[in-house]
Chain A
Amino acid sequence: MNKKNHTSLIHISKRREVSLGRRWGIRALAIILAFVLSAVVTMIITGLNPIEVYATMLKGAFGTPRKMWTLGQEIAILLCVSLALTPAFRMRFWNLGGEGQVLIGGLACAASMILLGDKIPNALLILIMTVTSIAAGALWAVIPAIFKAKWGTNETLFTLMMNYVATQLVAYYIIVWEVPRGSGKIGIINQNTQAGWFPQIGNFKYLLNILIVLVLTFVVYVYMKRSKQGYEISVVGESTNTARYVGIKVERVIIRTLLLSGAICGLTGLLLVGSTNHTITTTISGGRGFTAVMVAWLANFNPIAMIFSSFLLVFFSQGAGEISTAFGLNQSYADIMMGIVLFFIIGSEFFINYKLHLRKNTGKEGA
């Protein structure tokens, strides 16, 4: 230690309160920087000028009514998973098992459609699909929750592993039910009878999903902000000791919250299988269980703000998808762009929560 009076040039302190304007100002700046950087990267790879890059992205997201509906649908599904994870995250329970919970919900839905299709009235079938999907998702989430509540088993790793168990389970049933034999996929379920297909509102295929998720957003918002249970969740998240002290049964809150979290994931699976795709694959969740973690976190776990954060991520991925299609690039281009945006926003949180003080080396310190 040769420098006894060494103090770092930059001193960091936590900000007490951050005004809403400042918070969103910093985030907007991060997003703009991300846009600039991704445009530069795109320029280098494709040789487009930046204006064209943005134009292509906008075209990819809003170019045709069909693309806009797809955008809406993608936002709705991603938002739905994010809503599912929110109560758990608020409680500092890292549910990284969204992927598996969505899959297992979708599997339950597909199973009902295949096994009961045409045998019972359609309304009853849809009811059964809804109940089984939600129950399956809830079950998948509550298993790690029980172990967390009773023995403190690490939930991050447990839920993560559950994803792959679910994936293999789906892979198993795909082979059991594959149509035609040996194709390795299920194909459209009940193609002719459309048994168990969700009704379509007018000519808009995705409208029902979007409406369901919008209602759900509002419900989750109210649940988190206005209900006693929502309050208990945030107390447990702040400090389990405080929660115990005020008489909250922490174990019960953990299990109850994860039942809810898994149930909404199961609902997402239902929407994906029953309403959108009418089939199931092992990749039907498409990484949304993980993307949703970031969506929820970016929005500070505020359901209303999640509409924007999921819009942002879906916009980027659809836009980058358009660029890759237009230039014959690989579809994974979208993932790279998404990564860049995420890194910028993740980094920007620091400047929201902390303040940098530049120390002037006037010789005053260390005296």
Chain B
Amino acid sequence: MFDLVSFIPRAVAQGIPLLFGSTGETITEKSGNLNLGIPGVMYVGAICGVIGAFLYEQNATNFVPLLGVLIPTAAALVGSLLMGLLYCFLTVTLRANQNVTGLALTTFGVGFGNFFGGSLMKLTGSEVPSIALTSTSNCFRTALPFADKLGWVGTVFFSYGFLAYVAIILAVIASFVLKRTRTGLSLRAVGENPATADAAGINITRYKYMATCLGCMTAGLGGLYYVMDYANGVWSNDAFGDRGWLAIALVIFTIWRPAVGIFASMLFGGLYILYLYIPSGMNLSVKEIYKMFPYIVTIIVLILSSMRNKKENQPPASLGLPYFREDR
């Protein structure tokens, strides 16, 4: 029997990092920046959180839970912000190619994460055998106190750490801002046609910087959630895997709508772990085929949206293109 009550929380837990990543990437792409550095940014967010928590746990004499949460979160935000600034400086100010810059950012970010994840203990000369941030992780994982008492409702809706709810709130806010506010309208204009937006008096550079940096910070929280909540505060190299790319896939799947991302991310999370729940007997190989599902579904959405060619379902028109006022 398919155990839905145990399946849903695991699907959600898988989906949350993707939701952070895709919300961030959607905001970024709406400004016309195709940031392929998101996987790297998520790694940097995660490792900065780990470094912050590690230093705090090692040095604090008595562990204050509030600081235990705030320090890693701040570290993750700063780390991913710096990555965002680097990307913007190269692509917006120096007008470099976005694909190349993004890929370089991913190489750097993944390397940065794995390097400090693997060498943190050696570099700080501490005696612990591995990075296991149990007390920090416990703070991040604290669920609402009444979750246990509500039976399956509690398990399905209230059993998550606070970052999961932050992810959903951020997606809702992003969706609202993009659709209903003047800022959102301007941002979309920048992504669709920067020349027109420029003529209308919108500061292209500022919008691109803001959107990309906020997007990176959001994505960085996804990395933080993964390591602190999902992975119980244990860092292992490459464990984050291809989730960053899956987040980019999710942006396409939701056709650039963060609110849709809330459910879509959980669907993706479900697809990601579906193979654990489908009885395949002794045949382990089939599980690898199931892991293809999220990508195939994304490809199908990409194809269908281009075939139907509805205006509101297209990528931002100037996605991936640099803007230089004098070029026209």
Instruction: Write the residues of chain A forming the contact surface with B, with a CB cutoff of 8 angstroms.
Output: 12-14, 45, 94, 96, 147, 151-154, 156-158, 160-165, 167-169, 171-173, 175-176, 287, 290-291, 293-294, 297, 328-330, 332-336, 338-340, 342-343, 346-347, 349-350, 353-354
Q: For residue B245, which residues in chain A have a CB less than 8 angstroms away from its CB?
A: 160, 163-164
- Contact between chains at A153 and B292 (CB < 8 Å): no
- Contact between chains at B242 and A164 (CB < 8 Å): yes
Whether A339 contacts B252 in the complex (CB less than 8 A), given A154-B306, A164-B245, comes out as no
- Contact between chains at B115 and A335 (CB < 8 Å): yes
Expressed in whole angstroms, the Cα–Cα distance for A342 and B289 within the complex equals 35
Q: For residue B34, which residues in chain A have a CB less than 8 angstroms away from its CB?
A: 156
Q: Could you pull out 25 A-B pairs where Cβ atoms are within 8 angstroms?
A: A14-B324, A14-B326, A45-B123, A151-B307, A157-B249, A161-B249, A164-B245, A168-B292, A169-B289, A173-B285, A291-B107, A294-B103, A294-B104, A329-B115, A330-B115, A330-B119, A332-B111, A335-B108, A335-B115, A342-B100, A342-B107, A342-B108, A346-B97, A346-B104, A347-B90
Chain B: interface residue count, which band?
A: 35 or more
Expressed in whole angstroms, the Cα–Cα distance for A152 and B289 within the complex equals 28
> Which of B89, B118, B289 is the one whose CB lies under 8 Å from A172?
B289
**11 extra A-B contacts, CB within 8 A, seeds A160-B249, A332-B115, A349-B96:** A96-B99, A156-B34, A157-B249, A157-B298, A158-B303, A176-B285, A287-B107, A330-B115, A333-B111, A335-B107, A336-B111
Interface Cβ pair total, 8 Å cutoff:
164
- Contact between chains at A350 and B94 (CB < 8 Å): yes
Q: For residue A12, which residues in chain B have a CB less than 8 angstroms away from its CB?
A: 326
- Contact between chains at A14 and B327 (CB < 8 Å): yes
- Contact between chains at A335 and B90 (CB < 8 Å): no
Nearest neighbor of A162 in chain B, beta-carbon distance: B299
- Contact between chains at B107 and A338 (CB < 8 Å): yes
- Contact between chains at B295 and A147 (CB < 8 Å): no
- Contact between chains at B111 and A335 (CB < 8 Å): yes
Whether A349 contacts B94 in the complex (CB less than 8 A), given A290-B103, A343-B86, comes out as yes
- Contact between chains at B111 and A339 (CB < 8 Å): yes
Does B315 have its Cβ within 8 Å of any Cβ on chain A? yes
Nearest neighbor of A340 in chain B, beta-carbon distance: B108
Expressed in whole angstroms, the Cα–Cα distance for A168 and B103 within the complex equals 21
> Which of B99, B107, B307 is the one whose CB lies under 8 Å from A156?
B99
Q: For residue B119, which residues in chain A have a CB less than 8 angstroms away from its CB?
A: 329-330, 333
Q: For residue B252, which residues in chain A have a CB less than 8 angstroms away from its CB?
A: 154, 157
> Shortest beta-carbon distance, B79 to chain A, in Å?
14
Q: For residue B291, which residues in chain A have a CB less than 8 angstroms away from its CB?
A: 168, 171
Expressed in whole angstroms, the Cα–Cα distance for A287 and B242 within the complex equals 12
Whether A161 contacts B285 in the complex (CB less than 8 A), given A168-B291, A328-B122, A329-B122, comes out as no
- Contact between chains at B289 and A354 (CB < 8 Å): no
Whether A161 contacts B96 in the complex (CB less than 8 A), given A153-B303, A329-B119, A347-B90, comes out as no
Nearest neighbor of A328 in chain B, beta-carbon distance: B122
Q: Interface code B280-317, partner A: CB below 8 Å = 1, 0 otherwise? A: 00001110110110011011001100110100000100
Does B136 have its Cβ within 8 Å of any Cβ on chain A? no
Expressed in whole angstroms, the Cα–Cα distance for A154 and B289 within the complex equals 25
Expressed in whole angstroms, the Cα–Cα distance for A15 and B29 within the complex equals 29
- Contact between chains at B97 and A156 (CB < 8 Å): no
Expressed in whole angstroms, the Cα–Cα distance for A238 and B245 within the complex equals 29
B168-224 contacts to A, CB under 8 A, are none
- Contact between chains at B288 and A336 (CB < 8 Å): no
Q: For residue B112, which residues in chain A have a CB less than 8 angstroms away from its CB?
A: 332, 335-336, 339
Expressed in whole angstroms, the Cα–Cα distance for A333 and B115 within the complex equals 6
- Contact between chains at B306 and A147 (CB < 8 Å): yes
Does B33 have its Cβ within 8 Å of any Cβ on chain A? no
Does B254 have its Cβ within 8 Å of any Cβ on chain A? no
> Shortest beta-carbon distance, B243 to chain A, in Å?
11
Nearest neighbor of B327 in chain A, beta-carbon distance: A14
Whether A336 contacts B248 in the complex (CB less than 8 A), given A164-B242, A290-B103, A330-B114, comes out as no
> Shortest beta-carbon distance, B252 to chain A, in Å?
5
Does B53 have its Cβ within 8 Å of any Cβ on chain A? no
> Which of A168, A169, A333, A346 is the one whose CB lies under 8 Å from B100?
A346
Whether A338 contacts B292 in the complex (CB less than 8 A), given A343-B104, A349-B94, comes out as no
> Which of B95, B108, B109 is the one whose CB lies under 8 Å from A354?
B95
> Which of B99, B111, B248, B284 is the one whose CB lies under 8 Å from A175?
B284
> Shortest beta-carbon distance, A245 to chain B, in Å?
21
| Among B108, B122, B289: residue with most chain A CB under 10 A | B108
- Contact between chains at A168 and B288 (CB < 8 Å): yes
B259-298 contacts to A, CB under 8 A, are 284-286, 288-289, 291-292, 295-296, 298
Does B237 have its Cβ within 8 Å of any Cβ on chain A? yes
- Contact between chains at B111 and A334 (CB < 8 Å): yes
> Which of A153, A335, A343, A349 is the one whose CB lies under 8 Å from B110?
A335
> Which of B104, B113, B117, B285 is the one whose CB lies under 8 Å from A342?
B104
Nearest neighbor of A89 in chain B, beta-carbon distance: B99
| Among B90, B111, B307, B309: residue with most chain A CB under 10 A | B111
Nearest neighbor of A164 in chain B, beta-carbon distance: B295
- Contact between chains at A147 and B288 (CB < 8 Å): no
> Shortest beta-carbon distance, A163 to chain B, in Å?
8
Does B106 have its Cβ within 8 Å of any Cβ on chain A? yes
Does B320 have its Cβ within 8 Å of any Cβ on chain A? yes
> Shortest beta-carbon distance, A14 to chain B, in Å?
7
Expressed in whole angstroms, the Cα–Cα distance for A242 and B307 within the complex equals 24
Query: Considering the complex of A and B, which 7 residue pairs feature the smallest CB-CB distances, nearest first?
Result: A335-B111, A339-B108, A330-B118, A332-B114, A175-B285, A350-B94, A342-B104
Whether A290 contacts B108 in the complex (CB less than 8 A), given A165-B296, A171-B291, A350-B94, comes out as no
Does B159 have its Cβ within 8 Å of any Cβ on chain A? no
Nearest neighbor of A167 in chain B, beta-carbon distance: B242
Nearest neighbor of B111 in chain A, beta-carbon distance: A335
- Contact between chains at B288 and A172 (CB < 8 Å): yes
Q: For residue A152, which residues in chain B have a CB less than 8 angstroms away from its CB?
A: 306
Does B31 have its Cβ within 8 Å of any Cβ on chain A? no
- Contact between chains at A151 and B104 (CB < 8 Å): no
> Shortest beta-carbon distance, B108 to chain A, in Å?
3
Q: For residue A343, which residues in chain B have a CB less than 8 angstroms away from its CB?
A: 86, 90, 104, 108
Does B101 have its Cβ within 8 Å of any Cβ on chain A? yes
Whether A175 contacts B295 in the complex (CB less than 8 A), given A154-B302, A158-B302, comes out as no
Nearest neighbor of A96 in chain B, beta-carbon distance: B99
